[in-house]
Chain A
Amino acid sequence: MNEATPPKEERTAALSGLGTSRKRVEDARFTQGKGNYVDDLKMPGMLFGDFVRSPYAHARVKSIDTEKAMALPGVHAVLTAADLEPLGLHWMPTLAGDKQMVLADGKVLFQAQEVAFVVADDRYAAADGVAAVKVEYEELPVLVDPFKAESDGAPVLREDIADQTEGAHGPRRHPNHIFTWESGDREATEAVLAEADVVAEEMIYYHRTHPCPLEPCGCVASMDKVNGKLTVWGTFQAPHAVRTVASLISGIAEHNIRIISPDIGGGFGNKVGVYPGYVCSIVASIVTGVPVKWIEDRSDNLMATAFARDYWMKGRISATKDGKITGLHCHTTADHGAFDACADPTKFPAGFMNICTGSYDIPTAYLAVDGIYTNKAPGGVAYRCSFRVTEAAYFIERMIEILAIKLGMDAAELRVKNFIKKDQFPYQSALGWEYDSGDYHTGWDKALKAVGYEDLRKEQAARVEAFKRGETRMLLGIGLSHFTEIVGAGPVKNCDILGLGMFDSCEIRIHPTGSAIARLGTISQGQGHATTFAQILASEIGLPAEDITLEEGDTDTAPYGLGTYGSRSTPVAGAATAMAGRKIRAKAQMIAAYLLEVHDNDLEWDVDRFVVKGSPERFKTMKEIAFASYNQAIPGVEPGLEAVSYYDPPNMTYPFGSYICVMEINVDTGTTEIRQVYALDDCGTRINPMIIEGQVHGGLTEALAIAMGQEIAYDEQGNVTTGTLMDFFVPTAVETPNYQTDYTVTPSPHHPIGAKGVGESPNVGGVPAFSNAVHDAFRAFGLTQSNMPHDHWRIWKTAQSLGLHD
């Protein structure tokens, strides 16, 4: 190193690479209202489409009269299923191997289902047109209870497939039954349960809710009839998959379709699926010859596009007298609504629900999931979680608490006793997963110490006594949660969506002056990809993060990838980024060797340069190498400095964490006051601690919403009773408690930089922490299980049922 070379630390800091709390480069435009969202798009001649939606949950469509609507000024077209049928587009495939009506084909199966598509000059004219379309319905009996789906006299919902005894995921035993999916050893589990000292049994319901992103779903479709190219701008979490699906169902060659995801205002799984609005906009653009925009309003979004959860999980868990868990049995009744439109990898119709053994060394387990049709909206997406992982985590974290009650044990102690031990990793779970890494005891101990767990238990016991003496009406709940996620789908050998392997990609171009552009197959919806992926790359290639442009979401320019959901961006595309960076560095090493007139092996990497071993004064920086790659004729080396990596992960990653919520509950009103939320996350290598903290805050707030009040509810006629934000709870800063975040670092052994993904952990771990706090407050009074969401009324009813109002 010569005197002009700044010290290593200084040069490392100048890169803003891995581990730096770099400010989000996106925020300059987002915080100034300068984002470019799909609804900001305005194109010459653009028309606006809107849906006539069904007021009924189940009805036959006797007739659709579009005449009056067509006569209105500004209305250009009204599409119905009859118009789409000749094109074969009145139905479309779902991501789960089912099919879904694009527009009502003879009947409607859920309230707010798309019946006709009105295309007009603008949003207002379209609304006039929608109001003028006359639809004659004949109401049919409604099925909202999945447990009644197979009873005698249950209405048959899907007459189109009523006779099919074989579905996309195996045999169907009833017209309203979609699939049965099994994992683990049923007989062995029954045997263990039969012989166990202690068995706890409970039905755990994880209610239906909705991701409700700030920006609803929408698109602008533009068919250029001159060159035959279709461009669709939309709120797509997986633009390449949308392109392929659009090509397959429309017959338009894939190279003639360009999908662009502009800035997206939150997705949380809601924007993974393919919706009738996309298909209708494309058809309308073809019919009218001009661009057509479709944007949901809030009620459309809540009532018609993908919901989440709605799992009834019947659990049995067995243990020895001293609390060693011996077996776990789970039967889940999954309410999928009218069409099976879950967004899961093909081979996993219940997602990764078989992570439901959680953080525990449970030797024997069995899971069965029955998917059921009901008269509700389709969906079943992973709302800020990997596929069905939050359901699994909630299930096991409730079962642990219930087992602790049955054993008369402290729930923290029961967890410690059964955690998978550090030396058991990689760990083979009874339901077939290989947990790549973990160190549960360390984080858990840290968490218990941080909240002063033993003192809290003493305070709680004193509170119970004070309550019994009539001195207080407030109870204290300590909500424990230790979650293990499974994210980063996934290895192509067992993970695909519609046959598309779930690898991801990164393509890097270094410019002559030593700056770069990287393009990825993912798409940020607020996660800050442009910030974090540049940091990964900065550390790999020794160029400052601020000199690296990140681009995603345009299928004409970005390499093929499966998009952003299920915390897969960092585990998969992040790995691709590191690997592509390493390819750049390998070529840079050859160039440096040529320039320095040494052998490749005589060089070593030093932050931002290659240095001749033993001669620190002889080096070439990446900036110098970049320029050389454009102006030197190097024998055996192509000009330029570019690389691409398609990364097929060898395994999933398994982030984990210890969350604790301390909650005060007013027995008389059912209100809750959150005193402390402590969240310790282990997401492996930490790329940007500030963004991690932000992700955890956001996820905890969504978890709070779900656990404490947010739901999509239906009445017996199948009407959505929470179709607006007047009834669907979305917490603001006012309702959000203070959060205390913490971490441990257990790098993933198979990920190039050891990162595991974090965006969804707080939702997965947060929901059981909040819910367990409510349950724990009432444990001394005999409560074992109550259903979420724990809104004031439900908590009040719980207190009443336990005799606490007497």
Chain B
Amino acid sequence: MYQTNYVRASSTDDAVAKLDDEAKLLAGGMTLLPTMKQRLASPETLIDLADCGLAGIEDLGDALKIGAMTRHVDVETSEIVAKSIPALAVLAAKIGDRQVRNRGTIGGSIANNDPSACYPSAALALDATIHTNSRDIAADDFFVGMFETALEEDEIITAISFPKPAAAAYAKFPNPASRYAMVGVFVAKGDSVRVTVTGAGEDGVFRHAGLEAALTSSFAPESVEPVTVSGEEMISDMHAASDYRAHLVKEMTRRAVAACGWP
């Protein structure tokens, strides 16, 4: 086997100190380890963040702060989450399967920015702030493209703060084989409405201006109907062409709005 060393960092500073070009940070490993098994990645060192004290869910009053190493299962079952942003718990409960939810972490998902991952849609719709070891990044600036983020090479996500919305919901249309989102729509209502789409965009998660405008002026499922959602720049693969995905974006948006309870 190609050599891989496994080390545990005691803090984010320690992790950064251990980090070099040939090393990878290990959060939950739910993407990285399969990638390594397929030899699509072969890092010389894996730096495990488990001992960095990054797990935990904190109620800040007007926001919810979730540590980067918090597992999906912990978000799924957290009473704090259920009380303040239940849509996040719903989202977490639909990720992968039980085994994945027991290992996968929110920070790992956000940092990886898989175009079909669920969490990026929540972070972007809720106008979250991504805290790193060196700065705070607004979600709008964070998700740059497919598997690309604003993170620097030596930057580590420590937590994500989600402002509490008036209402929010996530509607996911899973790929039946992988259970990744073929289309996932997160709707969050505050002063205005933010609508984000995952699973469909060629550049990863995105906000949909037309849907946001329509729902800001009238927050009801039927407001979705007249909005044009174009399949251009959407993914086409063996499971769904872009026109089908575009159609599903509207359908999932309707469902998410309905799930919010309106007005």
Interface residues, chain A, with chain B CB atoms under 8 Å away: 124-125, 127-128, 131, 668-670, 709, 713, 721-722, 725-732, 735, 791-793, 796-797, 805
Contacts and interface: CB of A to CB of B under 8 A. Distances in A.
A124 B1 contact: yes
A181 B178 CA distance: 40
Contact of B39 (A127, A728, A731): A127
B177 A669 contact: no
A1 to B, nearest CB: 57
Nearest to A729: B177
Complex A-B, nearest 6 residue pairs according to Cβ-Cβ distance, in ascending order: A124-B1, A726-B178, A729-B177, A721-B238, A793-B240, A729-B176
Given A131-B39, A727-B239, A709 B177 contact: yes
Interface-central residue, B2, B175, B238, B241, by most chain A CB under 10 Å? B238
Given A669-B251, A805-B247, 5 more contacts: A127-B39, A668-B247, A669-B173, A727-B238, A735-B176
A712 to B, nearest CB: 11
A725 B177 contact: yes
B176 A709 contact: yes
B241 A793 contact: yes
A227 to B, nearest CB: 35
A791 B239 contact: yes
B244 A796 contact: yes
B3 to A, nearest CB: 10
B128 interface: no
12 contacts: A127-B1, A131-B39, A668-B251, A670-B244, A709-B176, A726-B175, A726-B177, A727-B177, A730-B177, A792-B173, A793-B239, A793-B244
Contacts of A128: 1-2
A765 B113 CA distance: 43
A731 B176 CA distance: 8
A802 to B, nearest CB: 15
A733 B87 CA distance: 25
B66 interface: no
Contacts of B240: 792-793
Interface string B97-115: 1000000000000000000
Range of interface residues on chain B? 10 to 19
B176 A791 contact: yes
A250 to B, nearest CB: 32
Interface string B176-205: 111010000000000000000000000000
A797 to B, nearest CB: 8
Contacts of B175: 726-727
Contacts of A731: 176
A715 to B, nearest CB: 8
A669 B247 CA distance: 8
Interface-central residue, A725, A726, A730, A735, by most chain B CB under 10 Å? A726
Given A727-B238, A791-B239, A793-B244, A125 B178 contact: no
Contacts of B39: 127, 131
Contacts of A709: 176-177
Nearest to B237: A721
A125 B239 contact: no
B248 interface: yes
Interface in B96-150: 97
Nearest to A713: B238
Nearest to B37: A297
Contacts of A131: 39
Interface string B232-259: 0000001111001001100100000000
B151 to A, nearest CB: 25
A731 B174 CA distance: 13
Contacts of B176: 709, 729, 731, 735, 791-792
B258 to A, nearest CB: 13
A112 to B, nearest CB: 14
A423 to B, nearest CB: 46
Contacts of A791: 176, 239
A164 to B, nearest CB: 36
Contacts of B173: 669, 792
Contact of B248 (A127, A669, A735): A669
A796 B247 contact: yes
Given A131-B39, A722-B238, A728 B244 contact: no
Nearest to B42: A131
Contacts of B178: 725-727
A216 to B, nearest CB: 15
A730 B97 CA distance: 13
Contacts of B244: 670, 793, 796-797
Contacts of B2: 128
Interface string B156-184: 00000000000000000101111010000
A731 B177 CA distance: 8
Nearest to B252: A669
A730 B176 CA distance: 8
B200 to A, nearest CB: 13
A791 B176 CA distance: 9
Contacts of A792: 173, 176, 240
Contacts of A668: 247, 251
Interface-central residue, A124, A125, A670, A805, by most chain B CB under 10 Å? A670
Contact of A728 (B177, B241, B248, B251): B177
A725 B178 CA distance: 7
A725 B173 CA distance: 18
A132 to B, nearest CB: 11
A725 B180 CA distance: 12
A240 to B, nearest CB: 36
A732 B177 CA distance: 10
Interface-central residue, B176, B180, B247, by most chain A CB under 10 Å? B176
Interface-central residue, A128, A722, A732, A792, by most chain B CB under 10 Å? A792
Nearest to B243: A800
A709 B247 CA distance: 20
A731 B251 CA distance: 24
B15 to A, nearest CB: 26
A272 to B, nearest CB: 26
Contacts of A726: 175, 177-178, 180
A721 B241 CA distance: 15
A785 to B, nearest CB: 21
A127 B40 CA distance: 13
Contacts of A729: 176-177
Nearest to A708: B176
A801 to B, nearest CB: 13
A128 B39 CA distance: 10
A732 B2 CA distance: 34
B235 to A, nearest CB: 12
